[in-house]
Amino acid sequence: MYQVQSCIEAVPSALVIFFSVAFFATIDYLLKRVSQNPNSLVYYLLFSQLVVEPSKTCVEINGNHPLTTDLDLQTTNSNGHMARPNKSDSSKNNKNNKIWKMQNIFLSEIHSIVSGPLAFVCVYLRPAMLEDVVSTCTPLALRLICFSLGYFVHDSIHMLRRKVSTETIELLFHHFIIFITYGLAVVQRTYVAFAVVSLFMEVNSIFLHARQLANLRRANRSSIVYRFLCAANVGTLVTFRGITTAWMVRWIWSNWRLLPLPVALLGASGLVVISVMNIVLLARLVKADYFTNISNSQKAKAS
């Protein structure tokens, strides 16, 4: 174990960040290549269900099944009047958007699978991280923060290359806070344990992204697997996100007078943003996965 820690410590933090960005960029490039090869197995598993009808333009809301509106079929011609676009072009653009979203969520899933469990490994190897979140720092924990920082850098670039939407702005603001907090932890070697604890939330992201991938592939919402994903998603959101956020808020509140004012304000503002996002996310998930299903079943019985 000592030799492993020595090897990890020998890797510079900047190199880990660079490797992380390069790793996710490589996966993104491979996914783009696969999306252009319909005969491959990976294409069948990820992209085969993303084909949409050429006569419709679909809009996906909160990871649910696509909705089609007549307004989405309209565009402006050279005379400034509303005109209907070429059906094949709209279908192609919509499929490209879905492929991009599939790639983005798949990369997020990889990050969650790696960072969430590793955060618990870091705390298991050094339990003192939960007692002293300011100065406790291990080589593995520091490199994990660097790996996550590299992912958020790549994800920000990946989103900025597409059309900026309201959802994108929300995520970019979240990433901006991550850049500051994780960046300070890496540079100053302080609050590394606090950053590692925040990665406990990535356990919920594993199920959250899996649900999004299932919806993009138009999975059967009444299947046992999908229902398990919905239940696990809500359950881990309450536990790994809710309890983790509450623990972090309690720590900030208890140590407010002992913290430097910039650190206290940064931590408090970041936790406020995360708390609001968690509450909104929980409300959207419960409404989409439970109340919508109840409403649909009642309508089916009435008909």
Q: Is residue 282 part of a domain?
A: yes
Residue 136 has what pLDDT? 92
C-alpha distances in Å from residue 176, one per residue of 15, 41, 181, 224, 244: 21, 37, 9, 38, 20
Share of the chain above pLDDT 70, in %: 76
pLDDT (tens digit, 9 = 90+) per residue, 39-55?
A: 777 676 666 666 444 43
Q: How many domains does the chain have?
A: 1
5 pLDDT above the threshold of 90: no
Average pLDDT, the chain: 81
Q: Is residue 261 part of a domain?
A: yes
pLDDT (tens digit, 9 = 90+) per residue, 16-42?
A: 999 999 999 999 999 888 887 777 776
Grade residue 118 by pLDDT with cuts at 50, 70 and 90.
very high
131 pLDDT above the threshold of 60: yes
Domain that holds residue 149: 13-35+99-301
Residue 90 has what pLDDT? 61
Residue 61 has what pLDDT? 40
Residue 170 has what pLDDT? 81
Residue 65 has what pLDDT? 42
DSSP assignment of 193-261 = HHHHHHGGGHHHHHHHHHHHHHHHTT--TTSHHHHHHHHHHHHHIIIIIIIHHHHHHHHHHHTGGGS-H
Grade residue 94 by pLDDT with cuts at 50, 70 and 90.
confident
Q: List beta partners, residue 83.
A: 75
Q: Which residues have C-beta within 8 Å of that of residue 64, sequence separation ≥ 6? A: 215, 288, 292
228 pLDDT above the threshold of 90: yes
pLDDT (tens digit, 9 = 90+) per residue, 249-301?
A: 999 999 998 888 888 898 898 899 899 989 999 999 999 888 875 555 544 44
Query: Alpha helix (H) ranges present in the chain?
Result: 2-10, 13-35, 41-46, 87-125, 139-160, 166-188, 192-198, 202-216, 224-236, 244-254, 261-286, 292-302
Q: Is residue 79 part of a domain?
A: no
Q: Is residue 147 part of a domain?
A: yes
Q: Is residue 25 part of a domain?
A: yes
Residue 73 has what pLDDT? 36
Q: Is residue 65 part of a domain?
A: no
Residue with tokens 């006569």: 55
